[in-house]
């Protein structure tokens, strides 16, 4: 990834730039300290993620495009992508079931657990059972596909 930064990491970098700008505007308009702190924390977390990915990435043999600040902007924001670059995080085909009730059963269990937090722990027990039943069914359905 050194010379050619993966598009996935560029997305995180562009998101950090957007959230940072939105945080600045939010602070100037609302003067709300907690919201501003959360937006700044999200910006710093995104930048830390991208920074660690760039730091831990293997270095390429050569850098494409211009060097200096403009070359960095081209590479890290995404204005330049080498033609012969392989897809960075590509994996094999994913097996996705066409239709299944298991996600709905699992979500229903989560809702019942949430209601148990409001009305009492006795309601959380059936919710936990639904979540376990839905998760096991969901995972074994994916196992049967492969």
Whether the CB-CB separation of 46 and 13 falls below 8 Å is answered with yes
Q: HEC profile for 74-108?
A: HHHHHCCCCCCCCCCCCCCCCCCCCCCCHHHHHHH
Determine the pLDDT at residue 20. Answer: 92
Residue 71: phi and psi, rounded to 5, are: -65, -40
Q: What is the Cα–Cα distance from 3 to 24, expressed in whole angstroms?
A: 31
Q: Give the predicted TM-score (pTM) of the model.
A: 0.44
pLDDT tens, per residue, the chain with 146 residues:
444 456 777 788 889 999 999 999 999 999 888 999 999 999 999 888 888 877 766 555 444 445 555 555 556 655 555 555 555 556 666 666 667 888 999 999 999 999 998 998 898 999 999 999 998 988 888 666 65
Q: How far apart are the first and last CA of the chain?
A: 31
């Amino acid at each position: 990834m050194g010379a050619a930064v993966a598009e996935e990491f560029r997305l995180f970098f562009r998101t950090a730039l957007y959230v940072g700008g939105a945080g600045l505007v939010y602070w100037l308009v609302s003067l709300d300290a907690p919201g501003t702190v959360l937006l700044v924390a999200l910006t710093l977390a995104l930048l830390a993620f991208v920074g660690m990915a760039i730091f831990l990435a293997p270095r390429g043999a050569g850098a494409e495009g211009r060097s200096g600040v403009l070359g960095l902007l081209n590479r890290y924001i995404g204005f330049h992508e080498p033609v012969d670059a392989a897809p960075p995080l590509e994996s094999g085909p994913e097996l996705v079931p066409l239709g299944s009730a298991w996600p709905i059963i699992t979500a229903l269990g989560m809702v019942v657990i949430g209601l148990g937090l409001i009305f009492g722990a006795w309601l959380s027990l059936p919710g936990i059972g639904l979540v376990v039943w839905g998760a096991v069914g969901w995972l074994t359905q994916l196992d049967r596909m492969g």
